[in-house]
């Protein structure tokens, strides 16, 4: 590929205690969580939650040490250009794996809407099993309710998160949130441009601003969830509409939380330790790619969950 490249030693770290403790932490986390969930479902008391928290603390502490160490090594100049490229590849493929994770849920939404519900709502399935259930989207009256002759508590567009019509967009929360998130992608880009010019002041400002926007986005989402649960009766248990709505937006929200946290850490690094320059800013760049990815997923959500919802 690249010709005549100067040879630099590739940094292979010494023995490290981090991975084994990270594995232990991960194990305790999921083992505790598993026990906790089973205890909740069986309505029993148990130690699940303790183990879970313990594991989480271990994992978080190890990851903190791990990242600090990687940063240290970088500052000491151990990282060759080639190693930095490894990090770039690593982050890139990690984001691709996240894309595929979301693809599974988008795929599920597509399948349920376009294949399953039509099947449930017509022919012998509808007549023989579900008391002439008719399918529509968003699904408010589930097959089960049709079977028992129940009707949805609230119907009509007000009952869903769906598109209220273009004229009302400016007061439509999901649209506002879209605007917030897209602006945050722009501001993080401005932060990047500032860094390229080594304008650290502007960098810190725009990065901090991005974190703020991320935080506002999350607050709006929490508000929206509360509204769905308390005012609309739209819950995780309300059939596939609630299921797909909360799972897609929920996982996205989790990723926004992660992304905001990552950017916040980079901001702290820059403000308190003076890290990052135009030639050395992988931590920031990786976080910003992640942020753009989260943003793109949101656009997908906005189209498929909200506008077409």
Query: Residue 245: is it exposed, middle or buried by C-beta count within 10 angstroms (0-12/13-18/19+)?
Result: buried
In this structure, what token pair is assigned to residue 24? 């232990």
Give the three-class secondary structure for 133.
coil
Considering only residues 138 to 157 of the shown chain, the ones binding another protein according to CB under 8 A are 139, 142-144, 147
Residue 171 tokens, joined: 């007061």
64 binds another protein (CB under 8 A): no
Provide, rounded to whole angstroms, the least separation between the CB of residue 18 and another protein.
6
Nearer to another protein, 81 or 170 (CB): 81
Residue 98 and residue 292: Cα distance in Å, rounded? 13
Pick 124 or 165: Cβ nearer another protein? 124
Q: Does 68 bind another protein (CB under 8 A)?
A: no
Please report whether residue 54 would count as binding another protein according to CB under 8 A: no
Neighbours of 103 (CB within 10 A): 12
Q: Which is nearer to another protein, 17 or 201 (CB)?
A: 17
The residue from 49, 53, 65, 66 that contacts another protein (CB under 8 A) is: 66
Give 277's DSSP letter.
B
CB of 298 to another protein, least distance (A): 18
Subset of residues 269 to 288 that bind another protein, contact rule: CB under 8 A: none
Q: Are 139 and 287 in contact (CB under 8 A)?
A: no
The only residue of 208, 242, 253, 259 in contact with another protein, by rule CB under 8 A = 242
Nearest approach, Cβ of residue 119 and another protein (Å): 6
Report how far residue 100's alpha carbon sits from residue 90's, in angstroms, rounded to the nearest whole number: 16
DSSP 3-state of 280: strand
Do residues 215 and 260 lie in contact, with contact meaning Cβ atoms separated by under 8 Å? Answer: yes
Among positions 159-178, residues that touch another protein (CB under 8 A) are none
Q: Among 50, 119, 222, 226, which residue sits at the site for another protein (rule: CB under 8 A)?
A: 119
* Alpha-carbon span 282 to 161, nearest angstrom: 38
Reduced to 3 DSSP states, what percent helix, strand and coil does the chain have, rounded to the nearest 5? 75, 0, 25
Q: Which of the residues 88 through 107 are near another protein (CB under 8 A)?
A: 89-90, 93-94, 96-98, 100-101, 103-105, 107
For the bound state, the minimum distance from the C-beta of residue 6 to another protein, rounded and expressed in Å, comes to 11
**DSSP notation for 52-106:** HHHHHHHHHHHHHHHHHHHHHHHHTT---HHHHHHHHHHHHHHHHHHHHHHHHHH
What is the spatial distance between Cα 184 and Cα 212, in angstroms, rounded to a whole number?
Answer: 9
Whole-number Å distance between alpha carbons of 98 and 92:
10
Residues 289-308 that bind another protein (CB under 8 A): none
Name which of residues 193 to 222 contact another protein (CB under 8 A). none
Q: Which of the ranges 114-122, 168-176, 187-195, 216-224 carries the binding residues for another protein, by CB under 8 A? A: 114-122
Of 240 and 305, nearer to another protein (C-beta) is: 240
From 120, 191, 234, 305, residue interacting with another protein (rule: CB under 8 A): 120
* Chain residues 25-44 in contact with another protein, contact rule CB under 8 A: 26-27, 30-31, 33-34, 37-38, 40-42
User: What's the sign of the alpha-carbon dihedral 254, 256, 257, 259?
Assistant: positive
Is the Cβ of residue 120 or residue 281 nearer to another protein in the bound state? 120
């Amino acid at each position: 590929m690249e010709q005549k490249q100067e040879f630099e030693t590739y940094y292979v770290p010494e023995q490290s205690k981090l991975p084994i403790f990270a594995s232990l932490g991960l194990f305790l986390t999921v083992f505790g969580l598993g026990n906790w969930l089973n205890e909740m479902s069986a309505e029993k008391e148990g130690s699940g939650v303790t183990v879970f928290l313990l594991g989480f603390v271990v994992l978080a502490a190890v990851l903190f040490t791990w990242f600090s160490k990687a940063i240290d090594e970088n500052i000491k100049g151990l990282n060759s250009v080639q190693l930095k490229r490894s990090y770039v590849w690593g982050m890139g493929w990690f984001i691709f794996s996240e894309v595929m994770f979301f693809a599974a849920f988008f795929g599920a939404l597509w399948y349920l809407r376009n294949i399953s519900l039509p099947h449930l709502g017509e022919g012998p399935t509808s007549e023989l099993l579900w008391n002439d259930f008719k399918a529509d989207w968003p699904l408010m009256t589930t097959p089960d309710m049709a079977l028992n002759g129940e009707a949805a508590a609230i119907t009509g567009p007000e009952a869903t998160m769906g598109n209220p019509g273009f004229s009302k967009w400016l007061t439509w929360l999901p649209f506002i949130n879209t605007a917030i998130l897209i602006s945050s992608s722009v501001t993080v880009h401005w932060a990047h441009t500032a860094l390229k010019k080594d304008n650290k002041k502007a960098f810190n400002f725009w990065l901090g601003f991005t974190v703020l926007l991320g935080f506002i986005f999350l607050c709006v989402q929490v508000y929206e969830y509360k509204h769905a649960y308390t005012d609309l009766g739209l819950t995780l248990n309300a059939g596939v509409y609630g299921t797909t709505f909360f799972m897609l937006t929920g996982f996205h929200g989790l990723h926004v939380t992660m992304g905001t946290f990552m950017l916040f850490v980079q901001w702290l690094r820059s403000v308190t330790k003076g890290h990052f320059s135009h030639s050395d800013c992988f931590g920031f760049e990786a976080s910003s790619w992640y942020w753009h990815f989260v943003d793109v997923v949101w656009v997908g959500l906005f189209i498929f969950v909200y506008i077409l919802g």
